[in-house]
Amino acid sequence: MGIFNKLFGSDTQPKEKKVLPWIPLTSVEALDSIVQKSKTKTQVIFKHSTRCGISSMVMNQFIAMYDLDLNIDLYYLDLLNYREVSNETGYKFQVMHQSPQLIVVKNGIAVAHASHGQINEINLNQFD
C-alpha cells in the first residue's frame, strides 16, 4: 500500500511550515524607523489583506519562494487592522495603495513595488 499512499498524498509525515522573519508593522512612527534603517539595509514591506483570498494565495507563494538567507528586514502590515499605517505607507513611499502589495525601500525611498501576482516576480536578491 506504500505506493498508493505516495500517489494519493496519504503520507503521514507532516510538512514543516516555513516561517519568515516577519516584523509586525503596527504604527505610523515605525515608518520613520524603516526610512532610517533603509540607509544601511534593505527594508521590505508586505501589505496583506486577511480577508482576501488572492492576498492569501500570493502571500503563500511569497513565503514558499522567499530566500531565508536574504539580509533584509521584512515587515508584515495587516492593512485591515492598521488602515492608518497602510495609508501613510503609500504617502511616505509614493506608491498607490494596492493589496496585496510589496514595497522595497532603500536609502529612504521605494526602489521597487508590486501588487498581486507581480509580487513574486520581484527578485529580492538584487536588493540584498
Q: At residue 28, what are phi and psi to the nearest 5 degrees?
A: -65, -35
| Beta partners for residue 75, in sequence order | 23, 45
The range of the structural domain enclosing residue 117 comes to 18-127
Number of H helices, E strands in the chain: 4, 5
pLDDT, tens digit, 9 for 90 and up, residues 75-109? 999 999 999 999 999 999 999 989 999 999 999 99
Supply the CATH number for residue 29's domain: 3.40.30.10
Domain count, the chain: 1
pLDDT, tens digit, 9 for 90 and up, residues 31-86? 999 999 999 999 999 999 999 999 999 999 999 999 999 999 999 999 999 999 99
**Does residue 122 sit within a domain?**
yes
**Does residue 39 sit within a domain?**
yes
**Does residue 9 sit within a domain?**
no
Give pLDDT, residue 92: 97
Cβ atoms 5, 11 nearer than 8 A:
yes
Cβ atoms 40, 98 nearer than 8 A:
no
